Structure 1
Amino acid sequence: MRFGTVLQSEGHRSAVVESDAGWHPIPGVAVLDLVRSGLAEAIAIGSRAIQQETVLPDEGLVFDAPLQPTTIRDFVTFAEHVEGVRASMQGESGVPDAWYDAPHFYFTNPHTISGPNAAVTIPDRCEQLDFELEVAAVIGRAGSDLSVKEAGEHIFGYTILNDWSARDIQRREMQVGLGPAKGKDFANTIGPVLVTADEFDDRTDAEGFLALGCVAEVNGVEVGRDVLQNMGWTFPAMIAYASRNSRVEPGDVLGSGTMGNGGCLAELWGRRGRLDPPPLQPGDSVTLTVEGIGTLSNTVVGRSGAAPGVPAARRARDRDALRAAHFAASTVPG
């Protein structure tokens, strides 16, 4: 079943689509509420909506992100992507040994989510804007310390994720050793729909990987093509790792990490040794297509003005003298 969020004059409405027959509204409930109700109950609610006579034709409908995630963990599970981006971002070759240890991830910003056809603003001081083609799993059941087998039963469905990246900002800030931050948290787009996990039973291979073709285009020109089966870990393995000594909750989004073979521009920059294709500019359109899910398109726009500045850190002072002076006059014991 395919759930989406439609933006209408009276606000957002969740809806379910049945083949090409159009969209059936689901009154009084958001897609995130459907996710929290569990996969079986959500499908039952969707089935009842389909039986109603009301149909929203595709023409003229404006879609938002299918849901507002509770958290977003973004993984890095494609070795080919690691090779290319490592060359581009760090000037180093190969895949680090630590990558093979576990499906590593970072947390990104759920409050900057947008959906299909939304404009993505180039962040201030960014000259190397990039897209990233990913598939994301959405958690439908809470859990901790899950086994890989158990984790698979916690997937509600899948959507497309574009993890937008300001590569020049990211390159500088990652020298601090904390991972990406302002180079990533300005925009994430998901959509166009959330497809329930049962739709992919016949697209799952013997090892548990999804056999889905994925294509990235910039201004209608293909720049990347890969299959999801090239992931280093399955989604259940990623979820099991995320839940270790922690929790996953309904509405959590887990990104596959960027596809290889041109799933982002930075990978190609690293392989070619130059900014080819060039960084994204205002007016560029990025279209990501994944078999079984659909197409997610967004347009890049320029920023209308500069963001407020933040001062650089003050240089090191005589720290020992400062400490001595403070505690000499302090009532703190010691």
Structure 2
Amino acid sequence: MRIARFRHEGKIKTGEIKGDGVRVFAGSPPIEAIVADGHDAVHERERAEIVPMESVRLLAPLHPASLRDFVAFEEHVAGVRRSIDGTGGVPDAWFDAPTFYFTNPHRIFGPGDEVPFPAASVNRDFELEVAAVAGPDETIFGYTILNDWSARDLQKREMQVNLGPAKGKDFASSLGPWIVTADELEPFKDAGGFLDLWCSVTVNGAEVGRDLLSNMGWTFETMLAYAARDSLVRPGDVLGSGTVGNGGCLAELWGRNGRQEPPPLRDGDVVTLTVQGIGSLTNTVISGPATDALPAVRRRDPATARNERQ
């Protein structure tokens, strides 16, 4: 089942994508309530009217309370490290556990939205990912597409502090076009429990990268269990797979090619992520408003610094 959140006749509604229309859920409950009930219950949910697709505006399928983004593809790690810090290779620690970082859940964009990059950034990048939506009792409710937009020049600077990424990432993430319930994708699982789905990305209609989701190092179930270890994952939380390899982002290709080819994204570029069994997510790149320079840092002077209470 494909579950969408959309605007119709001035109201935000939820429903099931069915052919060339949407079967609106009775009462249009929020996605968060649907997810909390689990994907078994959603099949029994009462439907109301059917509205044609051309009359709706798809929105981001949900606004999660938290968004963990993993880094589960070796090829991506090696390529981006070469591009960001010149080292390349995959650190030994990567093989120990599925590492992730938290990004900003308050800057979620949906299908067809313009995505504003920091105006000062020139090394603008997309990241092709699949995201799992957590269900009740540490289960996976379903899957959607995630674009983890990246300002690589900002990221490169701030990662020198060995913390982050921060402003290189927190300006935007895209989710969509809808959530596909986990049972729909069960036939695509291989013997190891990995989803054998083709993922591709185009910029202005030209394909830039293509990879199999099953090339990731851990299953979504393992990543969910690790996220919940000594912590808490709630229904509706989103877990990104991390960027696929073989051109799943520009920085990987820059590291492999030794130059910025293909070029960074520019205003007006149209990026489309497509995942077999899920759909396509398209956004247009724009520049956000210019920002003022920060005040100069106050450096610590050992000669005048006060280290003891007077």
Same fold flag (TM > 0.5): yes
Q: Provide the C-alpha distance between the structure 2 equivalents of 1:320 and 1:141, rounded to a whole number of angstroms.
A: 56
Q: Provide the C-alpha distance between the structure 2 equivalents of 1:28 and 1:298, rounded to a whole number of angstroms.
A: 26
TM-superposed CA distance for 1:92, in Å, is: 0.6
Q: Provide the C-alpha distance between the structure 1 equivalents of 2:292 and 2:223, rounded to a whole number of angstroms.
A: 38
Give the equivalent residue in structure 2 for 1:312: 296
Tell me the C-alpha RMSD between the 2 structures. 1.3
TM-superposed CA distance for 1:8, in Å, is: 2.8
Distance change (3 Å), C-alpha of 1:309 and 1:42: farther
* Letter aligned with residue 187 of structure 1: A
Q: Are residues 1:98 and 2:93 paired?
A: yes
Give the equivalent residue in structure 1 for 2:12: 12
3-state secondary structure, aligned to 1:269 = helix
Give the equivalent residue in structure 1 for 2:177: 192
**Percent of aligned pairs with the same amino acid:** 54
Higher helix proportion: 1
TM-score normalized with structure 1 length: 0.90
Distance change (3 Å), C-alpha of 1:21 and 1:284: closer
* Contact 1:142–1:247 (Cα < 8 Å) also in 2: no
3-state secondary structure, aligned to 2:24 = strand
Distance change (3 Å), C-alpha of 1:112 and 1:321: closer
TM-superposed CA distance for 1:12, in Å, is: 1.1
Give the equivalent residue in structure 2 for 1:255: 240
Q: How does 1:76-225 map to 2 (within 5 A)?
A: 76-143=71-138, 154-225=139-210
Q: Provide the C-alpha distance between the structure 2 equivalents of 1:321 and 1:272, rounded to a whole number of angstroms.
A: 48
Q: Provide the C-alpha distance between the structure 1 equivalents of 2:95 and 2:304, rounded to a whole number of angstroms.
A: 43
Give the equivalent residue in structure 2 for 1:151: none
Give the equivalent residue in structure 2 for 1:30: 30
* Letter aligned with residue 17 of structure 2: V
* Contact 2:125–2:151 (Cα < 8 Å) also in 1: yes
Q: Provide the C-alpha distance between the structure 2 equivalents of 1:160 and 1:319, rounded to a whole number of angstroms.
A: 54
Give the equivalent residue in structure 2 for 1:146: none
Q: Provide the C-alpha distance between the structure 2 equivalents of 1:84 and 1:318, rounded to a whole number of angstroms.
A: 41
2:251 to 266, 287, 312: 266
* Letter aligned with residue 197 of structure 2: L
Distance change (3 Å), C-alpha of 1:213 and 1:319: farther
Q: Are residues 1:73 and 2:68 paired?
A: yes
Runs of 4+ residues deviating >3 angstroms: none
Higher strand proportion: 2
TM-superposed CA distance for 1:142, in Å, is: 4.3
- Per-residue CA deviations over 1:180-208 (Å, capped at 9, x if unaligned) read 01100000000001000000111111100
* Contact 2:80–2:88 (Cα < 8 Å) also in 1: no
Q: Provide the C-alpha distance between the structure 2 equivalents of 1:113 and 1:142, rounded to a whole number of angstroms.
A: 25
TM-superposed CA distance for 1:107, in Å, is: 0.1
| Structure 2: runs of 5 or more not aligned | none
Q: Provide the C-alpha distance between the structure 2 equivalents of 1:321 and 1:186, rounded to a whole number of angstroms.
A: 36
Q: How does 1:53-64 map to 2 (within 5 A)?
A: 54-64=49-59
Bigger-Rg structure (1/2)? 1
TM-superposed CA distance for 1:56, in Å, is: 1.1
* Contact 1:6–1:12 (Cα < 8 Å) also in 2: yes
How many pairs are equivalent?
Answer: 309
Distance change (3 Å), C-alpha of 1:317 and 1:158: same
TM-score normalized with structure 2 length: 0.97
* Contact 2:66–2:102 (Cα < 8 Å) also in 1: yes
- Per-residue CA deviations over 1:88-140 (Å, capped at 9, x if unaligned) read 00101211111101000000000000100000112131111100000000001
Give the equivalent residue in structure 1 for 2:272: 287
TM-superposed CA distance for 1:321, in Å, is: 4.4
Q: Provide the C-alpha distance between the structure 1 equivalents of 2:155 and 2:91, rounded to a whole number of angstroms.
A: 19
* Letter aligned with residue 89 of structure 1: I
Distance change (3 Å), C-alpha of 1:21 and 1:309: same
* Letter aligned with residue 159 of structure 1: T
Q: Provide the C-alpha distance between the structure 2 equivalents of 1:293 and 1:236, rounded to a whole number of angstroms.
A: 18
* Letter aligned with residue 23 of structure 1: V
TM-superposed CA distance for 1:179, in Å, is: 2.3
3-state secondary structure, aligned to 2:154 = helix
* Contact 2:8–2:55 (Cα < 8 Å) also in 1: no
